[in-house]
């Protein structure tokens, strides 16, 4: 698992106390006027020493340099040696601590916009915190202009992004202005879109490729409300989806499968086909063993092999109604072969792994693999494919 945050950093020079948000460069000949905004990433020894004028210096090797003429020079621990030119980082010289905001060579970048949430889901992988984290948006507004315009997709995640209100609209506008060809995917519980005004405000931005992913856990309101631990959430979420579609916004329904949700998957699929046929995508998702999931493991864990009949039926109901369907976060060897056409490699690259049982498997390239956190618990039925499917 790649570390996106680290405090294993060594001071090598004087440092300033201001937060640095910058794009990494490995160009030691960068013109002087551009250096004051750039962070030099040094991977190989430099015979002529460190060039002056850069905003900060991050060293990945052990070469000793004269740092008397520069500020903000630090050596990074091995866990950050994957960093590359054009990545964007937030660096706090005082701590010191470094957060990776964007990785140029990754196709799973997402921006954490708040840790606050109005749900309290049993399986939340990022448990909400009731804190003032308004600095996150401020930092992201600085970072977005530094991100490569060739980025294909950018996620917005929380917490619950809609709690930001006007700030969320500003973020979407900024993404549209600086990254006009980048798809944006927002993960939201959808409840705030029960306000038609918010759905209308998002639509008015006219982002050319914006999708909002909204979880729905049951066709029965009490079950959905129990899973998200919030009374009335089901009604608000459904009204939110309807409002977004009223304003022609793209909506994806996300269903996390666990002990509380698997048995009614076919009924949920019929509910979606009957009432929400116009949504753009339905994703059935495997469980991530992070955050609250570990605390509630006895109420959540079910081996994926045990819910294949319900999952197959749900997918067939939606497919029969010509809906676009994906199965995310699953190991291929646990899936019913009828689900193979819907299986996607969906786990973000920085937390995607394979287990020792996978050794020799000929289908690893087509398998979603595991979240790094699956080491905590995963199926006993992992069986490598010894023949290509
Ligand atoms: S054995 Fe193969 S199919 Fe099963 S989880 Fe490992 S890589 Fe995926």
Q: State the 10-residue block means of pLDDT for the chain, 389 residues long.
A: 92 88 96 95 95 95 92 94 97 91 95 97 94 94 98 97 97 98 98 98 98 98 98 98 98 98 98 98 96 96 98 98 97 98 92 94 95 93 92
* Cβ pair 218, 177 in contact under 8 A: no
Cα 364 to middle of ligand 1, angstroms: 6
Which whole-number Å values give the CA distances from 277 to 241, 274, 284, 322, in the listed order? 11, 6, 16, 9
The phi and psi torsions of 42 (rounded to 5 degrees) equal: -110, 110
Q: Which of 352, 384, 388 to mutate to test the pocket of ligand 1 (most atoms within 8 A of CB)?
A: 384
Residue to mutate (ligand 1; options 336, 346, 354; most atoms within 8 A of CB): 354
Q: Is the CB of 353 under 6 A from ligand 1?
A: no
Residue whose CA is at the smallest distance from ligand 1 atom 7: 364
Q: What is the distance in A from the centroid of ligand 1 to the CA of 351?
A: 16
273 alpha carbon – ligand 1 mean position (Å) = 32
Answer yes or no: is the C-beta of 332 below 6 A from any ligand 1 atom: yes
Ligand 1 proximity of 311 Cβ (cutoff 6 Å): no
Q: What is the DSSP letter of 51?
A: P
Residue 333 Cα to ligand 1 middle (Å)? 6
Is any ligand 1 atom within 6 A of the Cβ of residue 175? no
**Among 333, 336, 282, CA closest to 309:** 336
Q: Which residues contact 266 (CB under 8 A, 6 or more apart)?
A: 310, 313, 314, 317
Would you say the CB of residue 354 lies under 6 angstroms from ligand 1?
yes
**How confident is the model at residue 324, as a pLDDT?**
98
Coil/strand/helix, residue 156: strand
Say whether 36 sits in a helix, a strand or coil: coil
pLDDT for the residue numbered 275? 98
DSSP string across 285-313: EPPP-STHHHHTHHHH---GGGGHHHHHH
Q: Is 28 helix (H, G, I), strand (E, B) or coil?
A: coil
C-alpha distances (whole Å) from 295 to each of 127, 299, 300, 327 are: 11, 9, 10, 25
Cβ-based neighbours of 356, under 8 Å, separated by 6 or more: none
Domain 110-376: give its CATH code.
3.20.20.70
Q: Of all atoms in ligand 1, which is nearest to the CA of residue 370?
A: 5
* 383 C-alpha to ligand 1 centroid (Å): 6
Q: Contact 347/373 with Cβ under 8 angstroms?
A: no
Quickly list DSSP for 344-379.
---S-GGGEE--GGGTT-TTGGG---EEGGGGGS--
For residue 291, what pLDDT is reported? Answer: 94
pLDDT value, residue 263? 98
Q: How far apart are the C-alpha atoms of 205 and 173, rounded to whole Å?
A: 6
C-alpha of residue 366 to centroid of ligand 1, in Å: 9
- Does the beta carbon of 199 sit less than 6 angstroms from any atom of ligand 1? no
Determine the Cα angle at 114 with ends 102 and 40, to 5°.
25
pLDDT of residue 61: 87
DSSP type of residue 230: -
Question: What percent helix, strand, coil does the chain show, rounded to 5?
Answer: 35, 20, 45
Domain ranges in the chain? 5-101, 110-376
CATH class of 5-101: alpha beta
The residue to mutate among 359, 365, 378, 382, having the most atoms of ligand 1 within 8 angstroms of its beta carbon, is 382
Residue 280 CB: number of other CB atoms within 10 A? 14
Does 331 contact ligand 1 (Cβ within 6 A)? yes
């Amino acid at each position: 698992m790649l570390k996106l945050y680290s405090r294993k950093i060594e001071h090598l020079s004087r440092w300033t106390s201001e937060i640095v948000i910058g794009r990494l460069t490995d160009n030691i000949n960068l013109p002087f006027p551009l250096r004051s905004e750039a962070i030099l990433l040094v991977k190989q020894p430099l015979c002529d020493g460190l060039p002056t004028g850069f905003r900060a210096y991050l060293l990945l090797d052990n070469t000793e340099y004269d740092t008397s003429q520069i500020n903000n020079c630090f050596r990074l621990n091995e866990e950050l040696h994957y960093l590359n030119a054009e990545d964007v980082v937030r660096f706090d010289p005082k701590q010191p601590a470094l957060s990776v905001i964007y990785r140029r060579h990754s196709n799973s970048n997402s921006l954490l916009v708040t840790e606050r949430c109005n749900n309290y889901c049993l399986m939340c992988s990022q448990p909400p915190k009731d804190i003032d984290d308004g600095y996150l948006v401020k930092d992201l507004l600085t970072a977005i202009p530094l991100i490569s315009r060739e980025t294909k997709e950018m996620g917005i995640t929380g917490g619950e992004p809609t709690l930001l209100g006007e700030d969320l609209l500003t973020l979407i506008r900024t993404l549209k202005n600086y990254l006009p060809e980048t798809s944006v995917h927002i993960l939201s519980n959808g409840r705030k879109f029960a306000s038609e005004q918010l759905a209308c405000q998002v639509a008015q931005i006219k982002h050319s490729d914006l999708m909002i992913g909204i979880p729905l856990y049951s066709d029965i309101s009490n079950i959905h409300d129990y899973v998200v631990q919030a009374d009335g959430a089901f009604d608000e979420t459904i009204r939110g989806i309807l409002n977004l579609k009223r304003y022609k916004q793209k909506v994806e329904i996300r269903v996390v499968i666990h002990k509380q949700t698997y048995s009614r998957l076919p009924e949920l699929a019929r509910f979606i086909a009957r009432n929400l046929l116009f949504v753009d995508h339905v994703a059935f998702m495997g469980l991530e063993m992070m955050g609250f999931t570990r605390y509630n493991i006895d109420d959540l864990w079910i081996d994926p092999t045990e819910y294949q009949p319900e999952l197959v039926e749900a997918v067939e109901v939606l497919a029969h109604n010509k809906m676009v369907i994906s199965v995310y976060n699953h190991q291929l060897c646990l899936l019913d072969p009828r689900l193979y056409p819907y299986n996607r490699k969906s786990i973000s690259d920085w937390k995607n792994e394979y287990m020792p049982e996978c050794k020799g498997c000929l289908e690893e390239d087509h398998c979603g693999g595991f979240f790094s956190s699956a080491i905590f618990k995963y199926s006993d039925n992992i069986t490598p494919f010894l023949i290509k499917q």
